[in-house]
């Protein structure tokens, strides 16, 4: 039981140190903003590809083969 308590204290100390290091940077919000902008760009790219596929499919279906 004593080993478990020692391990838990060490883990808590390491976690506190990591949180303190994360809070000390001035660009902590940059990552969230970057992820959101990247996600929006990806969604727009998917929408553009879907529109192009729909137009090409429509044009291909309009070709008279007979």
Predicted local distance difference test score (pLDDT) of residue 24: 77
Predicted local distance difference test score (pLDDT) of residue 28: 57
Positions of the chain with pLDDT lower than 70, given as ranges? 1, 26-30
Distance of alpha carbon 36 from the chain centroid:
7
Query: CB–CB of 7/13 below 8 Å?
Result: no
Predicted local distance difference test score (pLDDT) of residue 5: 84
Provide the token pair at 43: 């969604």
- In sequence order, which ranges of 1-66 are alpha helices (DSSP H)? 2-24, 30-61
Predicted local distance difference test score (pLDDT) of residue 34: 87
CA separation, residue 45 to residues 32, 42, 54, 56, 58 (Å): 20, 5, 14, 16, 20
Provide the token pair at 27: 């660009």
Whole-prediction pTM value? Answer: 0.52
């Amino acid at each position: 039981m004593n080993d478990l308590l020692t391990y838990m204290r060490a883990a808590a100390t390491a976690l506190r140190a990591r949180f303190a290091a994360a809070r000390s940077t001035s660009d902590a919000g940059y990552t969230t903003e970057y992820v959101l902008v990247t996600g929006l760009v990806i969604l727009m790219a998917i929408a553009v590809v879907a529109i192009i596929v729909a137009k090409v499919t429509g044009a291909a279906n309009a070709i008279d083969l007979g």
